[in-house]
Amino acid sequence: MKIAVVGTGYVGLVTGTCFAETGNHVSCIDIDADKIKKLNAGTITIYEPGLEPLFQRNLHQQRLFFTTDLAQGIKGADIIFLALPTPPGEDGSADLQYILKVASELGGLLDHYTVVVDKSTVPVGTAEKVNRVIAEKAKVPFDVVSNPEFLREGVAVDDFMKPDRVVIGSASSQAEAVMRQLYAPFVRQGNPIIFMDVKSAELTKYAANAFLATKITFMNEIANLCSLLGADVDAVRQGIGTDTRIGKRFLFAGIGYGGSCFPKDVQALSKSAQAVAYEFDLLKAVMKVNDQQKEKLIEPIETFLGSFKGKTIAIWGLAFKPYTDDIREAPALANIQLLLEKGVNLRVYDPEAMNNVRELMGDRMYYAKNQYDALEDADVLMIMTEWPVFRTPDFSIVASKMKNKAIFDGRNLYDLAQMKKLGFSYHSIGREFIEN
């Protein structure tokens, strides 16, 4: 099949590359000329494990193309995916300007029946708006369907190639047949393609992300209660996670969620509810708690140090999660901004995200060569992201580099008994504070 993907961000580039991998011819379109130039030259523009080999193979075998020309990119396409950003507007609702702008251009460009697919995470009713905008100029039949993505950064390729389900919202049997054919190679093991009405498909993605964000936030609230009661959140997690009704995933306590999806989607769903005069109070609480949770280590660090002014703090982890360079809404950024305002000297390290932080915040901190370089003369170490390289460090090197043997761990990476034995002061989330 001939496929066009409009947008070459995380979702668009993964979508285009993975469809090319199953033999389709895919054109990816973006208005960023520099990005398109890099992609055509074989330089991948995002970090996503497993994506680059697929990208290089399909580029070299001429199944994957990149252009800034929308008309050229969609020429002959059976399916056009809209994988465009939907950032929060001033009021927190999803901003649809990029999607609707492309839709307005598509109408006059279509020359045969085409399925237009909303791949972006969009509020209920977006497909109707896209349909209406395209129809204003369209001279040929078309269908607009919703096909929300459920990709997790860090494992997005695996999620796409082996989906646990494919959700498609459509009112057209013709569009349904086209989408079923497209996804057939990805569901050969029997995982379902779930067809539903368009509005339900649009809501499904928001509902999934909001539920997971709520689950994380609930566990963080339990962790905060554990700290006050003298309980251990890891023990509680194991105790409830074995209940099949609850499940083991998304129960790890920490300093809150970040990324491009959970914060934006929870906020957008809350705004969508308000638009129909429904106050989604649970989501308001989730957002409030998560904002507070991101800064949960600041007070105990200040208590430990006595004062922040003139102190040096090392930070391990800048990305919002491991296996990505994405820093959008990352808890590390909120902490960095706060610490800089308090006059702290920062030494930071992340395996993949440092260039993105430097572009955003400049040279207001020291970007370390490796995790141990970040520790030089540091008063304390903060852990913001659970990269595997941070899980089993050489603690003798850690101790030798730092002024104080003090770790404030926002991801609960280390065993309490080990920290006590090694003589570290160790503060984690929802567990005993080890003071040495």
Residue 407 DSSP SS3:
strand
Torsion of CA 259, 262, 264, 265, to 10 degrees: 150
pLDDT at residue 223, as a whole number: 97
Domains of the chain, with CATH numbers?
A: 2-196 (3.40.50.720), 205-293 (1.10.1040.10), 298-427 (3.40.50.720)
- Tell me the pLDDT tens digit for each residue of 330-352: 999 999 999 999 999 999 999 99
pLDDT at residue 322, as a whole number: 95
| Residue 13 in this model has a pLDDT that exceeds 90 | yes
Rounded CA gap, 85 and 7, in Å? Answer: 8
Over residues 380-407, mean pLDDT: 97
More reliable by pLDDT, 86 or 132: 132
pLDDT at residue 86, as a whole number: 86
pLDDT at residue 91, as a whole number: 78
Over residues 116-126, mean pLDDT: 92
Helix (H) or strand (E) holding 211: helix 198-229
- pTM, whole model, 2 decimals? 0.91
Cβ-based neighbours of 44, under 8 Å, separated by 6 or more: 13, 51, 52, 55
Residue 194 gets which letter from DSSP?
Answer: E
Q: Residues with catalytic annotation?
A: 261
Over residues 138-154, mean pLDDT: 94
**Beta-bridge mates of residue 117:** 81, 145
- Per-residue pLDDT band for 10 (boundaries 50, 70, 90) equals very high
pLDDT at residue 190, as a whole number: 86
- Per-residue pLDDT band for 33 (boundaries 50, 70, 90) equals very high
| Residue 101 in this model has a pLDDT that exceeds 90 | yes
pLDDT at residue 95, as a whole number: 86
Percent of the chain with pLDDT over 90: 94
More reliable by pLDDT, 122 or 400: 400
| Residue 89 in this model has a pLDDT that exceeds 90 | no
Contact 308, 344 (CB under 8 A): yes
pLDDT at residue 291, as a whole number: 96
pLDDT at residue 66, as a whole number: 97
Tell me the CA distances in angstroms from 179 to 3, 8, 76, 117, 205, one per residue in order: 11, 21, 17, 9, 18
- Tell me the pLDDT tens digit for each residue of 262-300: 999 999 999 999 999 999 999 999 999 999 999 999 999
Task: Write the DSSP assignment of 92-158 as a string of letters.
Answer: SSB--HHHHHHHHHHHHH--S-EEEEE-S---TTHHHHHHHHHHTT--S-EEEEE----PPTTSHHH
pLDDT at residue 320, as a whole number: 96
Contact 169, 198 (CB under 8 A): yes
For the chain, what is the mean pLDDT?
A: 95
Rounded CA gap, 419 and 409, in Å? Answer: 12
- Per-residue pLDDT band for 87 (boundaries 50, 70, 90) equals confident
